[in-house]
Amino acid sequence: MTDDELLLAPAHRLAAAVRDKEVSSRELLDGYLARIERLNPAINAVVTLDVERAQVGADAADAALARGDAVGPLHGLPITIKDAIEVEGIRATGGATELADHVPTADAAAVARLKAAGAVVFGKTNVPRWSGDFQTFNDLFGQTNNPWDVTRTTGGSSGGAAAAVAAGFTSFEVGTDIGGSVRIPSHCCGVFGLKPSFGVIPQRGYLDHVGGGTTDADINVFGPIARSASDLDLLLGVLAGPEPERAVAWHLDLPEADFTSLAGLRVGTWLDDPACPVDSEYCALLRAAADALADAGARVDDAHPPVTFGEQHSLFTRMILPAISPSLPDAVSDTMAGSHRAWLRAEEERAAVRARWAEWFTGYDLLLCPAMTIPAFPHDHAGDLPARRIVVNREERSLADTIQWLGLVGVVGLPAAVVPIGLVAGGAAGLPVGMQIVAPYLHDRRAVRAAELVDQVLGAYSRPPL
């Protein structure tokens, strides 16, 4: 195995290689740093490094193995973390000039769990300002480019994270997702991502405004980004659990997936909708993926929960505005957030919609749907996000429409794994696209196990041409 092949291996294989002393933590760290030095200038995914402390941590991990100490499941794996998540002693900006010099004194709970499992954090990855865009650029660090085609976006807001995973700059990553911020860049960069059920992974330490990180945002979740579905399972096991202050009395026991093959699974598909049309070439790959599941023995129907696309998107819009209002300027945040009474009414509506989804899932194990309406698109930072335009199937539409399939799932708090399903035309080597695999609330392991099986059928992660 060449150095590049090693650095692009899935995290679970890297962890096994470290434990078996086939490679040292320090060798992995040095390899990632050399790869970042060589390739990151063109991609601009990694924006902050903490090399000296990481070297100490990697050497300590290797010494622990040499002594025969008990080690965690991520022992010695060097990783980067999205710059909107606090890591003790490493600058965390949230992509905002207001936090250009902010150095947290404590880890976000999720980061603490990764470190306790043995991971060594050595850097931070780029985000849009306050994670408020689905392209990744800001005034501090500039624009992050897609390793499949540097003229195109990585998606966002965890765009630096997904690009770093795709390009082999890190063992894995952790992002955040309120409107698709794990799933969009996973789709755009050809990697795996998991939006877990709401509340499964603590989100404290998330910086979406000055003074942020001490409370939870509605809809928002932390989720892993990796080069294999098996990594998602590994990382979910490390990250899932109640907030530290609740762990005194509460525990989380996610049900295991009760299947080992696709045969017999009841799968619904919602692959296109007149309210939000999907690029025809991408839609053809989605249908081919659904057909592949059917060929493997799954019972696949063109069926989805009894909600309309417009109804679901309207609910998402009304629920997300209060959640993101702290990151907006004071002059507009109160107006966009609306009243608490209006939110309570929307919460009652959401409860009714959740019940419809839950009832539908009594007859189906999974739902397949698009991640976006298009593959990674050319960089477009002009004006405000609502004013940007894109062409889908020869029809001009709002660029903001492209992410509506993400809100469909996020607003009801369901787990969704994104898996790469192939390449569409674009760039020199094609552009990757992904598919959402949605499971019932708290059945995160079902979504992840299905992603592993789809991975086996479709061939999954491919190395970007860069």
Give the catalytic positions in this structure.
82, 157, 181
In whole angstroms, how far apart are CA 314 and each of 26, 189, 208, 272?
A: 50, 28, 23, 18
Residue 199 backbone dihedrals phi, psi, to 5 degrees: 95, -5
Rounded CA separation 261/82 (Å): 34
Rounded CA separation 424/422 (Å): 7
DSSP, collapsed to helix, strand or coil, labels residue 432 as strand
Among the listed residues 43, 66, 133, 60, the one whose alpha carbon sits nearest the alpha carbon of residue 324? 133
Rounded CA separation 327/47 (Å): 21
Vertex 44 angle, CA 124 and 236, to 5°: 40
Under DSSP, the state recorded for 270 is -
Strand 46-49: give its sheet, edge to edge: 46-49, 120-125, 78-82
Please name the residues in contact with 326: beta carbons below 8 A apart, sequence gap of 6 or more: 208, 209, 212, 217, 333
Rounded CA separation 262/453 (Å): 7
Two structure tokens written together for 387: 């004013």
Residue type, 134: F
DSSP, collapsed to helix, strand or coil, labels residue 339 as coil
Rounded CA separation 275/308 (Å): 9
Is the CA virtual torsion 124, 138, 434, 111 positive or negative? Answer: positive
Helix (H) or strand (E) holding 67: helix 51-67
Sequence-ordered strand ranges (E) for 371-465 = 389-392, 395-398, 416-424, 431-438
Under DSSP, the state recorded for 85 is B
- Strand pairing class (299-301; 416-424): unpaired
> 347: how many CB neighbours lie within 10 A of its CB?
13
Is the CA virtual torsion 164, 145, 129, 176 positive or negative? Answer: negative
Rounded CA separation 58/81 (Å): 16
Under DSSP, the state recorded for 20 is T
Among the listed residues 372, 369, 353, 359, the one whose alpha carbon sits nearest the alpha carbon of residue 447? 369
